Structure 1
Amino acid sequence: MERLSFDSSDGRSARWKWSICGLLFLATMIMYMDRQTLSLMSKPIKTEFQLTHEQYGTLEWGFGLAFAAGAIINGLLADRVSVRWLYPLMLLGWSSAGVATVWSQQIGDALLPIVGSQHAWLGMNSESNAAGYLGLFFCRVVLGYFEAGHWPCALITTQRLLTGPDRLLGNSILQSGASVGSIITPLAVMAMRTNEESSWRQPFIVIGIVGMSWVIPWLFFIREADLKLPAESPLKKNGSRPALWTWSVLRKIIVLMSIVVAINMTWQYLRAWMPLLLQEEHKYSENFMFWFMMAFYLVADLGCLAAGGAVKWLTGERFSLNRARLLVFTVCTLLAMYTAVAANLPHGALLLYTFLLIGCGTLGLFPVYYSLAQELSTRRQGLVTGLFGATTWIITSYMQKYVGKSIDVTHSFATGLFWAGQVPLIGCLALGLLWPNDERSSKK
């Protein structure tokens, strides 16, 4: 696949480029605020609609499959249409889905006569509120589809504005919005929920509407020329184009697939189940859970930024870019594997400190992956992001459904927590053993 070095910013300053990274950070933050509101409100929502853990896991399953479909479709669109206009469309779509969650009951009432109430694949049963559950499922599916458009649009932006170690740091800033959004969301929810009996609906409305304002600075600061496509790949000396599929490219695809599936299995487990784990298994209060989740995501954010900064620093200390990325990825993998310890710890300070280490390591894995994925193709970054994203979300969505079923059967979160942190080791080994040592391309 082609690899080009180019500058499409047409005289734009370095300050402007990093300001755009700040906008990408805000978009990720908004996306995670819309996504995390459900997990933070999972207990009152489960109570109101009489949902089992398996049904809650099915909501994540629907979200994940929709994200997988959106990753492919929106990735292809991002390669073919203007990201300047596609990106705000995606954000308005997922923000609207978040707001619509408030009317899940009414949406379900409208859909139930069409869909019916007896669907084993949705986990419907006579004990749960079928209409409310169906409305929630529909809103999560729409949310997942539009959120999938964020990543191809954002990664195309950093790919075309930044190069080499700067690109990895830009990706760290981009990814760190996930944890900052997850820090701010509990604060917003607590401000709007004066007690555990107050409505869970207001946070969905406020977060969704406020998030829509991001569209204004994006359209103001970005021009069409800033994200223009690169020139055609140069021909080889004999007049032919570079080979599209080579053993080196296939090795990279194998490595990237191993990494992206593994690190997302860890992160998606923590994102979806930790609030319930803290409240139901370790008997922490809702307010304590809110405060701890803020601390968890703050530390995760620091780990994400530290990973990008560490690679940039190591490459200045005579490390090759590939060696620096492997070292940072290995350290982060070891921290993520502490879930094996956390799964066997009782309620207390040691458990909480261990979770903080896990969060630091897990989110630090992502900017390394993004940097590696951006070297696979220049003109097809949207498709690359979409294919990897679709595979990941198909696998993790089924994981969520079976995690919920396992919790209902065993009444314990320990088994899922244990294995969730061990899978990044697969990606780490693949990176160390199979990634080609192509320093020339990694500098671009």
Structure 2
Amino acid sequence: MQATSITTTSPMPPWYRQVRWWMLSLLFFVTVINFVDRQALAVLGNDITDEYNLSNTAFGTIVSWFRFGMMLGEFPMGMLMDRVGVRIGLAFAVLWWSVGNGMHALSTSIWHFRIFRFWLGTGECGNYSGGNKIVASWFPVRERAFAIGIFNSASMFGSFVAAFLIIPIREHFGWRMGFLVPSVLGMVWVLVWWFVYRQPNEHPSVSQAELAHIRSDGEATEEAAPSNWDLLKLKQTWGLMLCRFWVGPVVEFYLYWMPKYFRDVRGLSIKDSAYFNSVTFLFGDIGSIGGGLAAAWLLSRSWKVKGTRQATLLFGAALCLLSFLVPLTGSIAIAIGLISLILLGHTFLSANMFASVSDVFPNSAVARVTGLTGVANGVSGIMFPLITGIIVDRTGYTPIFFMAALMPLLGVAIALVTLRNYEPARLFNPLERERDNEKR
């Protein structure tokens, strides 16, 4: 691969004046908003099922319509990010999903919820395809897992904040306002994003030293963007798709179903169910940031990318096996502790799963590959809530906890087999065949 480097004698500014961290903070906040909007259904789910007399199976269909929307929107959103850039693409995605979330306040039937969840899903899927592309543009390889861990931790922080934001709104103004108020936050974020975001080489506040740091892995020249068909012919694409197919639904089980589980099985009130569930999300934050820090530390210790990703993915999947124990304990405190460790492991794993995309694919394909993995996650995300609702109505939660224990391990095994040496998947571009793999 031909590469150019930037040399500079200017010193690196202190971290708080390095623009890439401010871009990451914008990405963090929009991901918080994304999951507040998403988690509103879980926080208000008991109110909705009570008011409309819905079974667990019916509630599962509402969740599945959201995943159906994400599945259909993932690849188009990825194409949008790659073609028009993340400044326009992410602004459109956030505005679109914010309106969709606000529309939930007008729902008067289960079909309204299904339609508006579908709408929300078609927009929210753009958060990760855009976010992965932003990290690939602004951070060198050795910092990417940490950067992804930071913005991915916002998913758990947003889920944590959701209960403390939405429950007071619900108590004072009713559950419908619990959907409407968070939507305004997304619209405010779009205005800030539009005026602040630029690419690294176009941003007026980026110093030459920071730009050199961002490009310290080498800046590719004459890089031909792969076609969609090129991407689908690669085993690496399918490996990451199948990994996310099995890994993705597990966290959504804990996001959407735990408030109902705590009320129906553990006997907690609606308010306590939401608050206790929120506590577990703080450990998800620790796992996401920890997964990135662990990867950065191993790479700084001269570990290759292959060994780093193998260790972090397997560690996260191993913690998810604790799901076997949740239905077997009679203690609420122990159950919450186990779920906390499971979410820590899942986000630890996820930070490195998403980082694997930019390990293997060029920046011109990162958003689309992330979108394709999201399509796979969408397929399983449609199936798993439906299966969950049916099984819970018939036999209870225990079989679902057992499934949630094994699915991440299966996904990680597929990824490690198909990615193997984490070699760059650039076979479609003759100019990229010569790549220096010493860092790997």
TM-score with structure 1 setting the length: 0.84
Supply the AA of the counterpart residue of 2:195: F
| Separation (CA, whole Å) in 1 of partners of 2:4 and 2:381 | 34
Superposition deviation, residue 61 in structure 1: 1.2
| Separation (CA, whole Å) in 2 of partners of 1:227 and 1:415 | 52
Residues 245, 144 of structure 1: CA spacing in aligned structure 2 closer, same or farther, 3 A cutoff? closer
* Residue in structure 1 matched with residue 188 of structure 2 by the alignment: 213
* Residue in structure 1 matched with residue 47 of structure 2 by the alignment: 44
Residues 225, 307 of structure 1: CA spacing in aligned structure 2 closer, same or farther, 3 A cutoff? closer
* Residue in structure 2 matched with residue 399 of structure 1 by the alignment: 384
Residues 86, 43 of structure 1: CA spacing in aligned structure 2 closer, same or farther, 3 A cutoff? same
* Residue in structure 2 matched with residue 68 of structure 1 by the alignment: 71
| Separation (CA, whole Å) in 2 of partners of 1:36 and 1:99 | 13
Deviating more after overlay: 224-233 vs 285-294 = 224-233
Q: 1:311 aligns with which of 280, 292, 295?
A: 295
* Residue in structure 2 matched with residue 263 of structure 1 by the alignment: 247
Give the number of aligned pairs: 404
Unaligned runs of 5+ in 2: 204-218, 424-435
Q: How does 1:41-440 map to 2 (within 5 A)?
A: 41-105=44-108, 132-194=109-171, 199-223=174-198, 231-233=221-223, 250-374=234-358, 375-410=360-395, 412-438=396-422, 440=436
| Separation (CA, whole Å) in 2 of partners of 1:306 and 1:225 | 26
| Separation (CA, whole Å) in 2 of partners of 1:5 and 1:200 | 55
Superposition deviation, residue 416 in structure 1: 0.9
The DSSP-based 3-state class of the residue aligned with 2:268 is coil
The DSSP-based 3-state class of the residue aligned with 1:346 is coil
Supply the AA of the counterpart residue of 1:275: P
Supply the AA of the counterpart residue of 1:223: R
Cα deviations by residue, 1:52-80 (Å, 9 ceiling, x for unpaired) = 11111111111111111100111111111
| Separation (CA, whole Å) in 1 of partners of 2:353 and 2:87 | 24
Q: Is the 8 A contact 2:317 2:412 kept in 1?
A: yes
Supply the AA of the counterpart residue of 1:313: W
TM-score with structure 2 setting the length: 0.85
| Separation (CA, whole Å) in 2 of partners of 1:325 and 1:151 | 19
Residues 3, 372 of structure 1: CA spacing in aligned structure 2 closer, same or farther, 3 A cutoff? farther
Residues 3, 177 of structure 1: CA spacing in aligned structure 2 closer, same or farther, 3 A cutoff? farther
The DSSP-based 3-state class of the residue aligned with 2:106 is helix
The DSSP-based 3-state class of the residue aligned with 2:234 is helix
Q: Is the 8 A contact 1:82 1:224 kept in 2?
A: no
Q: Is the 8 A contact 1:87 1:149 kept in 2?
A: yes
Superposition deviation, residue 279 in structure 1: 0.9
Unaligned runs of 5+ in 1: 106-131, 235-240
Supply the AA of the counterpart residue of 2:32: M
Superposition deviation, residue 275 in structure 1: 1.1
